[in-house]
Amino acid sequence: MKIYVYILFIIIGITLSCNSSKSFSDKENPKLENDTIRIANDEIEYEITIIDIGFSNWFNTNARPRNFYSQNYLEARNRTWVIEWNRRANSPINFDSNLYEMQIDYNSTTDYGYEVNYMLFNYFVYFQQKYNQKLGVFSARL
């Protein structure tokens, strides 16, 4: 009888552990179709255009689903990474000017919304991993 109870608990445990992972639908995390990405918040007239071959494929296979991170988390990472990006863009002698072609105008007091911060965060992670760069103290991981 002890063996049957033990086996029953194992079966229940396995069943619960298999069902405990949260699934995200494609509606929550739509796939990117091409390598030119437009990130915009039309309410505040802000737009980022990313033209980087490979980003959409990386995004579709590696990015965490939307709402995995809080907006505050994304803003904190973006703020740090934008500061370092702009520092490097202003120092073409010290850093590859092909990587840091222009500055990013990111005001930490402006609420750009979740989508802009989410896509910018993912681009920074992709950029740091692809080009083996480290923009600040936070490591580029998902």
Q: Where do the structural domains in the chain lie, given as residue ranges? A: 24-130
Residue pair 56/19 in contact (Cβ under 8 Å)? The answer is: no
DSSP state of 46: E
pTM over 0.75: no
pLDDT tens, residue by residue, 83-127: 999 999 999 999 999 999 989 989 989 998 999 999 999 999 999
What local confidence, expressed as pLDDT, does residue 140 receive? 73
**DSSP secondary structure, 48-112, as one string:** EEEE-TTHHHHHHHHPPPTTSS-HHHHHHHHHHHHHHHHHHHT-TTTS-TTT--S-----TTS--
What local confidence, expressed as pLDDT, does residue 51 receive? 80
